Structure 1
C-alpha cells in the first residue's frame, strides 16, 4: 500500500465538508501523514459588504477578509484532532475553491487530496461542474472523494 506523507483536505465550513475533514484526518492518522486543511474564500466588497456590515452590526468582523474561513478552520482543527491527526496545518486562501486546492496541493507537495462528494449528483453540478468533479479531473495526485451527503 502506498503510504501518504501529506494529505490535503478542503473545507467550506459546511457540515458535509467537516465530514470530509474527519475522513482525511482518520487516513492521515492511520498513515502518520501530515494533514493540511484549506479553506478558500472570496471576501465581500462593495454593496454586499456594506449590507452585511449593516445587518451584522458588532458581528460585522465575521464577513471581512478571511474571518469566516478562519472560523471554519478552527472547527476543522478540532474535528481533525479528535480523529487522531497529529500534525494539522491550516490555510485560509483567497480564491476560487478548485484553483486554491490545486495551488496549495502543489505548494505543500500533497500526495492525496480529499474532498466531499457534495455537488456531484446535483443538476447544477452536472451542468456547471462541481468542486469534487473538477478536483478529480485536474489534480495531479491521488484524490479521495468522501461520501458526505
Structure 2
C-alpha cells in the first residue's frame, strides 16, 4: 500500500486543476504515476507528465555514458524517455485523464521539476519518494527531498 504525504504552503485551499507527475520509469515511480493519475481522474484534474533526462558527461560513473558516444547516448536517453512517456500517456488515456507529456534534459532534476511546474501552471506536484538516482541520491539527497525543500507548490509524495 502506498502512503501519501502532502506538503502545503500555509493558507492554500481549493481544488487542484493541473497535477505535475514526474516519472523516471522505476517501479516506485510507476506506482506513484498510477496513484496520481487515479487522483487526477477522481478530481477531474489535468496531468502534466514529465521525465527528466541526465545530460551526457565526459567524466561519469554511469555505464551508459561510459560505453556510448555523446550522440549515441543522446539517442539512447531520448528513446528511453519516449518509452517512459508513451507508457505514462497510455495510462492517462486509459483513465480518461487529459494530459500532456514532456521531457527535459537537466543536471538538476529537482530544479527542472519545479521549473516545469511553474511554466505549466501546475498547482500540485505528485511524485514517488525516490527513484533511480543511485549512490548520488544518498550522498546529495533525493530529488524528492529537494523538491519538497524548494517548491512553493504543494507536493504529494507516494511511498
Name structure 2 gaps, 5 residues minimum.
1-12
- 1:129 pairs with 2:141: yes
1:37 aligns with 2:53: no
Superposed CA deviations along residues 13-39 of structure 1, whole A, max 9, x for unmatched, are 111111111111111111111100000
> Is residue 51 of structure 1 aligned with residue 62 of structure 2?
no
TM-score between both structures, scaled by the size of structure 1 = 0.79
Equivalent of 2:76, from 57, 63, 66?
63
Q: Give the total of aligned pairs.
A: 138
Query: Of the candidates 88, 106, 109, which is equivalent to residue 99 of structure 2?
Result: 88
How far 1:89 sits from its partner (Å)?
Answer: 0.5
How far residue 45 of structure 1 moved from its aligned partner, in angstroms, is 5.9
- In structure 1, C-alpha distance between the alignment counterparts of 2:153 and 2:15, rounded to whole Å: 13
**2:52–2:112 contact (8 Å) kept in structure 1:** yes
Contact 1:35 1:85 in 2 (8 A): no
Runs of 4+ in structure 1 displaced over 6 angstroms? Answer: none
Q: Which has the higher contact order (CA 8 A, sep 6+)?
A: 2
Q: Which has the higher helix share?
A: 1
Tell me the SS of whatever aligns to 1:7. Answer: strand
Structure 1 126/109 Cα, relative in aligned 2: closer, same or farther at 3 Å?
same
Instruction: Note if 1:76 corresponds to 2:88.
Output: yes
- Indicate the RMSD between aligned Cα atoms, in angstroms: 2.8
User: How far did residue 52 of structure 1 move?
Assistant: 3.2
TM-score by length of 2: 0.74
- Report how far residue 67 of structure 1 moved: 2.1
